[in-house]
Amino acid sequence: MSTKIAGKVVVITGASSGLGEATARLLSAQGASLALGARRVDRLKSLADELNKSGGKALTVATDVTNSDQVKQLVDAAVQKFGRIDVIINNAGLMPQSPLERLKIDDWDRMIDVNIKGVLYGIAAALPYMKQQKAGHIICVSSIAGHKVRPGGVVYSATKHAVRVISEGLRQEVKP
């Protein structure tokens, strides 16, 4: 069965570990060209080296998704190197847990900045190219926490609800 992945240009945020890294390996094995972003450049580079040695095409850009310019640089690098962008996977995210009454305001800020603003910056960077191409997929990683809320995970859950709402709103707005 064809996966139709071969030759596609895919940008992945948070590609230095976890789901992002695993997705990069899977898509590279299926023939996608990849632009990999995250803050830990050493991990990104060793992943890209490994993929390129196995016949893949991967570039890396140091990317903090809380910085819209850096997210734009990641997407621009993909277009410059590979000629287009077919998919962006807004995957970077974090989930520190604590009850609200512990007032971990720094954690709340980081989750809002990375999980919500990072996704919006990914959309801002990719959408103009995709509109020009009249094609593209924007994939935003939410969570079961984007559907349910549990004690200790309230702010994380709020950010993942936001990711789901942003994705659905984007779908409604750009579908035509």
Ligand X SMILES: NC(=O)c1ccc[n+]([C@@H]2O[C@H](COP(=O)([O-])OP(=O)(O)OC[C@H]3O[C@@H](n4cnc5c(N)ncnc54)[C@H](OP(=O)(O)O)[C@@H]3O)[C@@H](O)[C@H]2O)c1
Residues in the site for ligand X, rule: CB under 6 A?
A: 13-20, 38-40, 63-66, 91-95, 114, 141, 143
- Which residue out of 51, 156, 161, 163 is catalytically annotated? 156
Shortest distance in whole angstroms from residue 32 CB to ligand X: 18
Nearest to 138 by CA among 168, 110, 159, 160: 168
Active site residue 156: yes
Shortest distance in whole angstroms from residue 134 CB to ligand X: 28
Based on CB atoms, which residue is closest to ligand X, 97 or 132?
97
CA distance 3 to 156: 33
Shortest distance in whole angstroms from residue 62 CB to ligand X: 9
CA torsion 113-116-121-122 (nearest 10°) is: 130
Based on CB atoms, which residue is closest to ligand X, 66 or 68?
66
HSE value, Cβ hemisphere, 13 Å, CA-based, for 176:
1
Shortest distance in whole angstroms from residue 136 CB to ligand X: 20
Based on CB atoms, which residue is closest to ligand X, 9 or 65?
65
- Radius of gyration in angstroms for the set of CA atoms belonging to the chain, rounded to a whole number: 16
The residues carrying an active-site annotation are: 156
